[in-house]
Amino acid sequence: MTMTDIHNVVPFPPVVPADAVAAGYAEFNRNPHLCVDVPDGGFTITAKTTEGKRITFAFQPYKNGGPPQCVDIQYHDGEQGLTQNGEPWPVFDVLGFAGNKGFDTRDTNKVGIACILMDGGEQ
């Protein structure tokens, strides 16, 4: 992706959920939605709360220049763990929900990256 391509990725202003759906995006809740067209190739969206808490959503393809197939999510302002090489690495808790099942990392080990597979897990 070139700098020209980057400048062409412009998010739309926040909209109500019904307008997001009408424009072809998914609705998650009743809060305002920020709709973003994610281009092919690797692309990261970074966000910061009013308290300064930072989180990134890295859309990753399985092949260079291909469409994103997974989203790596990382929270940057929590606890610090260590990589296998002893380097600092942010770690955080994750809750997952699936009907009447779920998982909660507060009861086990924290994670450094949460990965959402958008292709059904096939590579």
Q: What is the mean pLDDT of residues 21-32?
A: 94
Residue 106 in 3-state DSSP?
helix
Tokens encoding 49: 């709360």
Please give the sequence-ordered ranges of beta strands (E in DSSP) within the chain, or none if there are none: 43-48, 54-61, 68-75, 79-82, 88-91, 95-98, 101-104, 114-117
Closest Cα to residue 105, out of 69, 71, 81? 81
The residues spanned by each domain of the chain are 1-37, 38-123
Summarised one tens digit per residue, pLDDT across range 31-73 is 999 999 999 999 999 999 999 999 999 999 999 999 999 999 9
pLDDT value, residue 81: 87
